[in-house]
Structure 1
């Protein structure tokens, strides 16, 4: 995934357009002004391309990062704010889309009522937890908590069966960790040890804020940490979760009951909203064996404490100021280095969009998208696919039988571009202007029911997993599809005019379409066939060669460092392969444009220089040291610096464009340059 109109000749960074001897407009070329020319592009292209912008735009104290994503998100947030405020003032009919949007936003902005309510909105849920008496009632409550947005104990979802993409299946996977990833519970470096200590203090403070006396809160925090550490011990590492074969273990209910004798899954799945199931896909059987034992080795009171913690942790951002501030202090300040909260309106806008984005998207498409957005995106996407086919045909390491299957899979990739042709029906959701948490919980419950209702029904391949106003993109291997929302058309600095093709193909072509299409052929996507089924379509020799190439990219990225941590080359290899494929395919498509063919210079930059600077602009993101450390620990994406420097070092045309010489940091000798697709 990607956490992302034609310009006439420009010869200077600043250009004045004159008509009838009258000065009309002055344009600033961001590819020039973003640069830090005190840095040699041969040594660090990331900071050469973007360092000037970073110097002039330090990370705000309310953010963990700053850059192109933040600029675009701020634009989108302001548009959504207008939609929310207009809806809130509309006096709309009860049950209408405007009423839901307006009242959800208004309930979140009403901090006076939220603070007055305190933690009372969770009182009924706390009572349900207090009523737990044994393992069966514990499992029943865990099931209930999942239906309202919790992830207590373990992970559960309904989605496409990896080996039968036309069928929706039940998935069980590891989960239940307040720190997110297992390594936070075991790494011994000073930073992570400090985070663990702060986490225990945080749990204690949150317990006090929901009414637990200090002495008991201290014990409760220790109990939560001990229980979660045992869950983490049974969990797989981030890189191990990337193997779709090893994380696909289909079992009958009887077989699952056999490895977890303390759980009757026929009963438990009903508590999760599944009336009758025949099989389940268990991602990590060893986790469930450990969880089964913990149901008896931990006292029921310990489980109650853990569930109360998980509940308040899930809903902390929607409660009174004291709880929200404590939640921010740990997860944003300690974990990510963010000093102050965003303005409340931004937080509520982002939550309203996250909860009711399907409704907001309909307004966004009508009121904020330039005409022709969908068509332009599709044009770029198809151009990328065309050059991808040529690249596959010309590969010197792949046999003809495998090429034929790769080309067929490529031809069958579905492109969901711009916005969906049909919208989900959210008419059954009731939004109350006076209860923010209740509204969030109601949407969570609707989303959960929408998911579980798919079980036993045919897969709807037209469904979107993002909103048109979401600045991101994805590849879904089970559908063999990419999704590029409409707002990816936004390029800061080119408002009101069409960027030149170097920028269109560097950002939208390379880092978006090229990146996402390559996911169909990365270390994971390459294991799925044209219909989206987990199915080997490679010859044995071709697969061996492919794995040799992916091993080389793992080795390259594992040498990159962030502070005292190395990038996890294994965990990030899929995104790194996609970044390399994306920049190459974007460049190949750009070569077919008039700008490239006539060697048109803009702002004194050659077409090649503009293309690679534009690719650098696509990942112009600077992060706090805490956030970058967290990213290395938990994210399958490399930090932005290496999403630029990593792939470009493997591209011969980049070396030529910026005169990269042997011995420089950006130089990769021919023998070590990775060429996969």
Structure 2
């Protein structure tokens, strides 16, 4: 999946006036962004990422309110402005109760009503805090933990309902490690000075939140110590990021009785009943050692200690929707300390993003109707199918794979479902009640609906038509259990190409390479390759072919592990290998599809650039992201995606045509000897 996904371009669709210039308004003398974005003082053979994008970075420093700056923030700002129009228009219409526009408008209005929010302070959580205060023993403690999961908090552990990895036609109950305020277990143990400083600030943050909740200085300090100690214990029994990538080792199916047997202090059947899951018989436990340790932790900490932790987890989950003191403290630690962001985004932007996050299913319906051109699905499918065709050609020509495995790979490829544009049916959110009274209550109402929507799937047939993203979401994903890719058509604007259709080099460098090619390759990366054409965790490889494939994935791990993103901090080649494989496969497939276009065949130059130059510069444009050092450090520790720089330089270093296009010679920083260049798909 791409967490930073470029705009989806649609060939042959008329651009509409509400989002960009009309075709006839285009200035033919407008500068070409592939030319103006470059920093020509940087040799492309040393650092293509900075060569392709450095000129733009110099002119556009990272705002104090952002973690990064680049193509995604630029496009995101356009989407936010459009969603803001939807929100403000809905808020002004005084729509009938229960309609989509009423819910959107009232949700947004409640978030913008800072006077009421500040006046209410922590009161919106008083009922939930009272439930925690009423805990008196282990049974009521566990019941309260279960309840908090149903309202959007996530204390002690993680839980979700999803497709069984080995029986993709059925939903299963998944339990996984969790309960950490800092998210990743390494924050609790790494000894570099930056992480140590974050831990120190985290304890101060815990104290600050405790004081805002009403504790005196002494009690706040004690509460912080208890929370930190408890979370560190949970972290000590949590697996590292890279260890979570193995679908086999993280698939431990057992009966509910067996699960209960491994945790004698936790009766999971009773918890699941409180969590609105009925008739459970089996569960899939991602990390059994975590739950054995949690069972001991339940008894080794006092009820009062657990209550302190649960209150923290609840308030931490909702701080952004409470009074300004809670919101500012939450922003200070999670954005300033952990990500280097110095100031908050404007209030309207924060509320727009939350409205979209909570009611995106409703906003999407308005967005498709008022902002998205007709014909989007068809054109996206056209490009996606072109990529699939060249993928099949590449698989047939592979010199390292046997005909037996090729046959199965081609079958899986042919059965990949492409969900593009927007869903054919929308989820029913009619039961969600939204008002202008309390922002926090609105967020909680949607969280409850989302949880119950998930829990209600258990025991029902799998709905393979369901979307995991909104049409206005800049992202894309591959689902191994459904053997499908999803590419939302949230916006057709490409910065610098307003009012005109980009040339094929742009289309196939961005849509073809970093979108369709990338997502399809996830079906054949280190994880996706373990699922068969029907979405089941099932080995379809011959032993010899699997051995060769594993050697190639290890090579890509080794390549990326050598990239020093910050002084002394390297890319985690193991954790990022799936995305790195997808990036390499994506750009290769994008290029192969581009070679079939007239622009490539006729060697058409545009803005003085050859077709090959434009294609590779377009791929560089797809990942034009400049990030703050603090955010980069956080990404290296917590994200399965390599930094943008290496999403460009990494795959291109393995492509022969790139070497020829930019005259990459031995001795250049991006040079890899031909025998060591990685070709997988």
Q: Give the TM-score of the pair, scaled to structure 2.
A: 0.97
Match of 1:584 among 559, 568, 588: 588
Partners of 1:261 and 1:534 lie apart in 2 by 31
What corresponds to 1:629 in structure 2?
A: 633
3-state SS of paired residue (2:315): helix
Give the Cα–Cα distance (whole angstroms) in 2 for the partners of residues 136 and 391 of structure 1.
Answer: 58
- Following the alignment from structure 1 to structure 2, what is the Cα–Cα distance between the partners of residues 662 and 222? 55
CA contact (8 A) 1:472 1:488 kept: no
Displacement of 1:26? 3.5
Aligned length: 666
Q: How does 1:115-264 map to 2 (within 5 A)?
A: 115-264=118-267
Matched, 1:440 2:428: no
Task: Confirm or deny: 8 A CA contact 1:377 1:489 kept in the other structure.
Answer: no
- Post-superposition shift, 1:657? 0.6
Aligned counterparts, 1:557-636, within 5 A: 557-563=560-566, 564-636=568-640
Structure 2 partner of 1:10:
none
- 1:94 paired residue number: 97
The match for 1:546 among 524, 544, 549 is: 549
C-alpha distance in 1, partners of 2:124/2:547?
A: 57
Q: Distance in 2 between matches of 1:310 and 1:340?
A: 24
> Counterpart of 1:11?
none
Partner of 2:467: 464
In structure 1, runs of 5+ residues without a counterpart are: 8-16
Superposed counterparts of 1:650-669, under 5 Å: 650-669=654-673
* Residue 39 (structure 1) aligns with: 42
Tell me how far 1:434 sits from its aligned partner. 1.4
Provide the rounded CA distance (Å) in 2 between the counterparts of 1:262 and 1:101.
44
Give 1:143 shift.
Answer: 0.7
Residues 6 and 500 in structure 1, CA contact (< 8 A), matched pair in contact too: no
Please give the alpha-carbon distance, in whole angstroms, between the structure 2 residues aligned to 1:471 and 1:264. 41
SS at structure 1 position matched to 2:170:
strand
What is the aligned partner in structure 2 of residue 556 from structure 1? 559
Q: CA deviation at 1:276?
A: 1.8
Give the conservation status (yes or no) of the 8 Å contact 2:250–2:286.
yes
Q: 3-state DSSP class of the match of 2:30?
A: strand
Q: Please say if residues 164 and 533 of structure 1, whose CA atoms lie closer than 8 Å, have aligned partners that are also in contact.
A: yes
Q: 1:534 to 1:18 in 2, by over 3 A?
A: closer
Equivalent residue for 2:423, pick from 420, 423, 429? 420
Question: Partner of 1:165: helix, strand, or coil?
Answer: coil
Q: Deviations over 1:177-212 (max 9, x none)?
A: 001000000000000000000000001000100111
Give the one of 503, 518, 521 matched to 2:521. 518
Aligned equivalent of 2:675: 671
> How many angstroms does 1:18 deviate by?
13
The superposition leaves residues 55-89 of structure 1 with CA deviations (integer Å, 9 ceiling, x where unpaired) of: 00000000000101101100000000000000000
The secondary structure found in structure 2 opposite 1:27 is: coil
Distance in 2, matches of 1:128 and 1:427, equals: 28
Deviation at 1:442, TM superposition (A): 0.1
Is the CA contact 1:248–1:282 (under 8 Å) kept in the aligned structure 2? Answer: yes
2:17: which partner in 1? none
**Equivalent position of 1:272 in the other structure:** 275
2:226 and 2:493 map into 1 onto residues whose CA distance is 48
In the TM superposition, what are the counterparts of 1:64-103 in structure 2 within 5 Å? 64-103=67-106
Question: C-alpha distance in 2, partners of 1:398/1:530?
Answer: 18
1:111 counterpart (106, 109, 114) = 114
Whole-Å Cα distance in 2 between the matches of residues 499 and 453 of structure 1? Answer: 44
Match of 1:487 in 2: 490
Asked whether the 8 Å contact 2:26–2:499 carries over to 1, the reply is no
Cα distance between partner residues in 1 of 2:26 and 2:543: 65
Contact 2:180–2:234 at 8 Å: present in 1 too? yes
Report the secondary structure of 1:495's partner residue.
coil
**Cα distance in 1 for residues equivalent to 2:27 and 2:279:** 68
Using the alignment, how far apart are the partners of 1:118 and 1:28 within structure 2?
Answer: 51
Per-residue deviation, 1:23: 10
| Distance in 2, Cα, partners of 1:26 & 1:229 | 60
Question: Helix, strand or coil for the counterpart of 2:490?
Answer: helix
Once the two structures are overlaid, the 10-residue window that deviates more, 187-196 or 265-274, is: 265-274
Deviations 1:295-341 (A, max 9, x none): 10111111101000001100000000010000000000000000000
RMSD in angstroms over aligned alpha carbons? 1.4
| Misfit runs of 4+, over 6 Å | none
Residues 216 and 18 of structure 1: is their aligned pair in 2 closer, same or farther, counting only changes over 3 Å?
Answer: closer
Partner of 1:520, secondary structure, is helix
Supply the distance in 2 between the matched residues of 1:2 and 1:602 (Cα, whole angstroms): 29
**How far apart in 1 are the matches of 2:63 and 2:632?**
15
Residue 272 of structure 1, CA deviation: 1.3
CA-CA distance at 1:24 after TM superposition: 5.6
Which residue of the partner structure matches residue 13 of structure 1?
none
CA contact (8 A) 2:360 2:470 kept: yes
Q: Aligned residue for 1:355? A: 358
List per-residue Cα deviations over 1:389-421 (Å, max 9, x = no partner).
Answer: 000000000000000000000000000000000
- Report if aligned partners of 1:373, 1:489 keep a CA contact under 8 Å in 2: no
1:645 aligned residue (649, 673, 679): 649
SS at match of 1:479: coil
Following the alignment from structure 1 to structure 2, what is the Cα–Cα distance between the partners of residues 18 and 555?
Answer: 47
Which digits, 9 at most, give the CA deviation of each residue in 1:477-524, with x for residues without a partner?
000000000026432111121100000000111000000000000000
Is the contact made by 1:31 and 1:613 (CA closer than 8 Å) also made in structure 2?
Answer: yes
Shift of the 64–125 alpha-carbon distance from structure 1 to 2, 3 Å rule, reads same
1:204-228 Cα distance to aligned partner (Å, 9 max, x none): 0001001111110000001000000
Where do 5+ consecutive residues of structure 2 fail to align?
13-21
Give 1:441 deviation, angstroms.
0.1
Aligned-residue offset at 1:257: 1.0
Q: What residue is the counterpart of 1:411 in the other structure?
A: 414
C-alpha displacement of 1:366: 1.1
SS at 1:166 equivalent: coil
The residue aligned with 1:2 is 2
1:338 partnered with 2:322: no
Q: Is the 8 A contact 1:18 1:24 kept in 2?
A: no
Shift of 1:372: 2.4
What SS is found at the alignment partner of 2:642?
Answer: coil
